[in-house]
């Protein structure tokens, strides 16, 4: 089974094979013997690559993967050959909308709202102040735009991922 | 006059509550824990001899409630209270209330806390004792306009600070006049939330300086000693992240001079118990009084490791009226200690808090390692309290060995289920600037998690790992569809185990 992994600006093509009850992967010129064990749910793994031992964190969400190895974090996109083909077809028909929901990057309490619907905002302009763990964090606008709606109010507790403000 | 006590209430939570309980236990003292509803399963509750619920998770309703804590002390018959750090540790009303209720407060006199707790008053004390201070306001700032006037007088950049401050809360750097109003509001709000007092003052921001502090111990008979310095310049957003002792820039002579000044500051407020005098140290080895922390510090373990003194034990001895058993001559700094503050903050998402369940903890151990923590398998990182969840401390004969040991320990330390700043610490331990010891307190402003020398190789490995996990997940799924045995063991994993058995 072939896999395509995008990380930073590189794409790796990996081909997995099970042979004599062992797992091998072809990567470029090399053929590596793998032994992967999950040590702890949800994310800690032990990986032996040709007997070299690594302890790594792997977080998977759909085809988006985060891998922490040797104190470095990588964001990767992993697709098997079938998914990749499907994604290529879909991308051609995809439409981008002008709306952008700014969400809470962490759970917390809304301290203040700094914008109102209709406001023009600059990139980096403060939208909402969230307080978590006694620290106040200003949630800034990721781009230029106009505030379409403010979806929270001061004093409200919000979960991670909750929409705070919608830009258009 | 000895005021012996046998039962101590620890008015705190988290790693510091656990750390204090440990010394109490070793001294054969009975212990009492208090806990909020969020902390019923906490280690400090489980390690203490007795534990009492004191209310809802927000600190104001539990760990900051003087009445509730004193009520528990009375009910449990505790004769002394150790406040830890944070919460009520630098609250003179609490220290006074303990005394009024016939309970020993394991810390300084209420008057010393008051004198140093108001940072504006503390600057006056230091000045009066002939100790140089950072240029700044002599009184509180009533309005933003007043702050603007002072900032203009001293020149930007300036530092807004909470009069009731500590731990970097309610503090903001202001580099240009247009940032001042918003910084003033944020700092005042943060100070009000953290300390119940939003009063601010300002200082000129000294740049290219180090944060170096001196640990002192004083008894009630006027004996004060210092236990050398702690280098705390590695700070992020004014929060200390890594501390070490000794500092690479403090030699024997400077240590003696800073120590003497610290002792003088302590004597000026008739100081009893453990305290820390913080200084800024410039490139020419001039040092300026910053503030005095009238409590045990978060980073106290590094001093313990290089001096061999258990500071909590000394605090308890002093509080029970004993004379200091240490003299300046027999305090010797030996080897090197480093502390990394491990927090539930995601270095890959702007250090935002990472909330959730720590499913598994793999603690580092072995030679020279000390881990002060209160986490365990299944620990919930909640929003209510500080994100610091562990302090990893190492000792070695030399600083170079300590850095290597810290790297090894950080690699062993695995917290599963949440993101932590461990990778950030690991990268810092590899930074040439840190290794050379050539940094000041602005070091982390420009430090980022850029690619390492091994980045290319790591990226390739990450690709292999991610694809292998994806492959494994798919195999498990398709075997489930086939009606095969479900489980997280794929065929080749089982095969590898079988092969291993054959070999052995």
Give B342-398 pLDDT, tens digit per residue.
999 999 888 999 989 999 999 999 999 999 999 999 999 988 999 999 999 999 999
Q: Best residue in B409, B414, B415, B464 to probe A by mutation, most A CBs within 10 Å?
A: B464
The per-residue pLDDT for range A112-124, each reduced to its tens digit, is 999 999 999 988 7
The pLDDT of residue B94: 98
Residues of B in contact with A126 (CB under 8 A): 182
Query: How many Cβ atoms are within 10 Å of B193's Cβ, its own excluded?
Result: 18
What number is the average pLDDT over the span B280-298?
A: 96
Helix H or strand E segment including B462: helix B455-481
Residue B321, helix vs strand vs coil: coil
CA–CA dist B361, B350 (Å, integer): 24
H or E stretch at A26: strand A22-27
Separation in Å, CA of A121 to nearest CA in chain B: 17
Closest by CA to B384, choosing from B88, B38, B15, is B38
Q: Indicate the burial class of B151 (C-beta count within 10 angstroms; 0-12, 13-18, 19 or more).
A: buried
Q: What angle do CA B431, B434, B438 make, to 5 degrees?
A: 130
Q: What is the DSSP letter of B133?
A: B
- Confidence category of residue B503, pLDDT binned at 50, 70, 90: very low
Catalytic residue among B123, B295, B405, B419: B295
Rounded (10°) CA dihedral B491, B494, B496, B498: -130
Closest-CA distance, B119 to chain A, in angstroms, reads 20
**What is the pLDDT at residue A96?**
40
Q: What is the pLDDT of residues B8-21, one digit of tens each?
A: 999 999 999 999 99
Q: Which residue, among B32, B39, B30, B79, has the nearest Cα to B59 in the 3D structure? A: B39
- On the question of pLDDT at B126 being above 80, the answer is yes
pLDDT > 50? residue B85: yes
User: pLDDT digit string (tens) for B18-44?
Assistant: 999 999 999 999 999 999 999 999 999
pLDDT for the residue numbered B4:
84
**Average pLDDT of chain B?**
92
Mean pLDDT to the nearest integer, A25-43? 94
Which strands, in side-by-side order, build the sheet including B388-396?
B287-293, B273-281, B210-218, B224-236, B239-245, B336-343, B388-396, B369-373
A132 touches chain B (CB under 8 A): yes
Contact B103, B72 (CB under 8 A): no
Return the pLDDT at B117.
Answer: 86
Handedness of CA A125, A126, A128, A130 (dihedral sign): positive
**Measured between alpha carbons, how far is A18 from B136 in angstroms, rounded to an integer?**
71
Asked if residue A98 lies in contact with residue A105, where contact means CB atoms within 8 angstroms, the answer is no
A12 Cα to chain B: minimum distance (Å): 7
Smallest CA–CA distance from A67 into chain B, residue: B462
So what's the ipTM on this one? 0.79
Catalytic site includes residue B479: no
CB A111 within 8 Å of CB A103: no
């Amino acid at each position: 089974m072939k896999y395509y992994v995008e990380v930073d600006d590189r794409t790796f093509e990996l081909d997995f094979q099970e042979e004599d009850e062992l797992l091998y992967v072809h990567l470029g010129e090399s053929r590596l013997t793998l032994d992967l064990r999950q040590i702890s749910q949800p994310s800690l793994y032990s990986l032996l690559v040709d007997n070299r031992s690594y302890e790594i964190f792997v977080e998977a969400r759909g085809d988006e993967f985060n891998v922490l190895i040797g104190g470095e974090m990588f964001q990767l996109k992993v697709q098997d050959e079938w998914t990749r083909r499907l994604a290529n077809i879909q991308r051609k028909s995809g439409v981008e909308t002008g709306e952008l929901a700014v969400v809470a990057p962490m759970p917390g309490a809304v301290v203040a709202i700094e914008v109102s619907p209709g406001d023009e905002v600059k990139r980096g302009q403060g939208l909402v102040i969230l307080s978590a763990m006694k620290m106040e964090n200003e949630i800034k606008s990721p781009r230029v735009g106009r505030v379409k709606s403010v979806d929270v109010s001061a004093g409200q507790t919000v979960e991670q991922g909750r929409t705070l403000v919608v830009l258009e | 006059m000895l005021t012996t006590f046998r039962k101590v209430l620890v008015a705190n939570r988290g790693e510091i509550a656990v750390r204090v309980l440990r010394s109490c236990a070793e001294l054969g003292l009975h212990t009492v824990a208090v806990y909020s509803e969020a902390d019923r399963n906490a280690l400090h509750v489980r390690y203490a001899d007795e534990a009492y619920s004191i209310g809802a998770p927000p600190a104001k309703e539990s760990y900051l409630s003087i009445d509730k804590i004193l009520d528990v002390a009375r009910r449990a018959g505790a004769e002394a209270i150790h406040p830890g750090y944070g919460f009520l540790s630098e609250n003179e009303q609490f220290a006074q209330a303990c005394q009024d209720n016939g309970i020993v407060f394991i810390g300084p006199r209420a008057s010393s806390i008051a004198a140093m707790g108001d940072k504006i008053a503390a600057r006056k004390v230091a000045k009066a004792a002939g100790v140089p201070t950072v240029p700044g306001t002599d009184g509180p700032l009533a309005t933003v306009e007043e702050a603007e006037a002072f900032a203009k007088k001293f020149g930007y950049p300036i530092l807004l600070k909470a009069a009731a401050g500590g731990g970097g809360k309610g503090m903001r750097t202001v580099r240009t006049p247009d940032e001042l109003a918003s910084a003033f509001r944020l700092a005042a709000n943060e100070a009000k939330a953290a300390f119940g007092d939003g009063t601010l003052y300002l200082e000129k921001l000294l740049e290219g300086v180090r944060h170096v502090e001196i640990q002192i111990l004083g008894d009630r008979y006027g004996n004060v000693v210092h236990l050398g310095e702690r280098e705390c310049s590695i700070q992020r957003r004014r929060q200390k992240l890594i501390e070490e002792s000794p500092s690479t820039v403090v030699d024997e002579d400077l240590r003696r001079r800073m120590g003497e000044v610290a002792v003088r500051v302590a004597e000026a407020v008739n100081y009893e118990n453990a305290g820390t005098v913080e200084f800024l140290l410039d490139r020419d080895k001039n040092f300026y009084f910053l503030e005095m922390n009238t409590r045990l510090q978060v980073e106290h373990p590094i001093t313990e490791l290089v001096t061999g003194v258990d500071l909590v034990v000394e605090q308890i001895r002093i509080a029970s009226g004993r004379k200091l058993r240490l003299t300046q001559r027999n305090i010797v700094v030996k080897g090197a200690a480093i502390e990394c503050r491990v927090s539930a903050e995601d270095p890959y998402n702007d250090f935002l808090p990472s909330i959730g369940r720590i499913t598994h903890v793999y603690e580092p151990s072995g030679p020279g390692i000390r881990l002060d923590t209160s986490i365990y398998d299944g620990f919930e990182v909640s929003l209510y309290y500080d994100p610091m969840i562990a302090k990893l401390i190492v000792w070695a004969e030399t600083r170079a060995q300590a850095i290597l040991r810290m790297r090894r320990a950080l690699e062993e330390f695995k917290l599963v289920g949440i993101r932590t700043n461990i990778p950030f610490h690991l990268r810092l331990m590899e930074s040439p600037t840190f290794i050379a010891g050539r940094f000041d307190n602005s070091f982390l402003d420009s430090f980022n998690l850029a690619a390492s020398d091994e980045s290319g190789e790591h990226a390739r490995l990450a690709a292999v790992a991610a694809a292998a996990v994806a492959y494994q997940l798919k195999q498990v799924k398709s075997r489930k569809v086939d009606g095969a045995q479900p489980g997280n063991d794929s065929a080749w994993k089982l095969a590898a185990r079988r092969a291993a058995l054959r070999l052995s």
